[in-house]
Amino acid sequence: MKNANIGELKNNLSRFLALVEKGEMVVVCKRNIPVARIVPVEDGQRNNRTRLGCGAGTVEIHGDLTEPLMPLDDWQMLVDETTP
């Protein structure tokens, strides 16, 4: 078990998370008083069930995505008229 004050944890978060991934617990302290624990997740919770491409074919694009949404005449109102 490792103890880390908040500032140390912020500055070395990756290092502490690597310890947690290896199975260690990190106790987070505020002025050396424990306030929280970072513990590894249980093995069953660690699996990522994301299926890449599961949304393929579910989106329809209407129109040209490269065209501006505003008509070109409306863009003129955004130009500062004092600028040459």
Q: Tell whether the model's pLDDT for residue 70 goes beyond 70.
A: yes
Residue 74 lies in a domain: no
What is the β-pairing status of strands 2-5 and 26-30?
A: parallel
Give me the number of domains the chain comprises. 1
Residue 50 lies in a domain: no
pTM: 0.53
Residue 11 lies in a domain: yes
Residue 61 lies in a domain: no
Residue 67 lies in a domain: no
pLDDT digits (tens, 9 = 90+) for 11-53: 999 999 999 999 999 999 999 999 999 999 887 666 667 788 8
Domain span holding position 13: 1-31
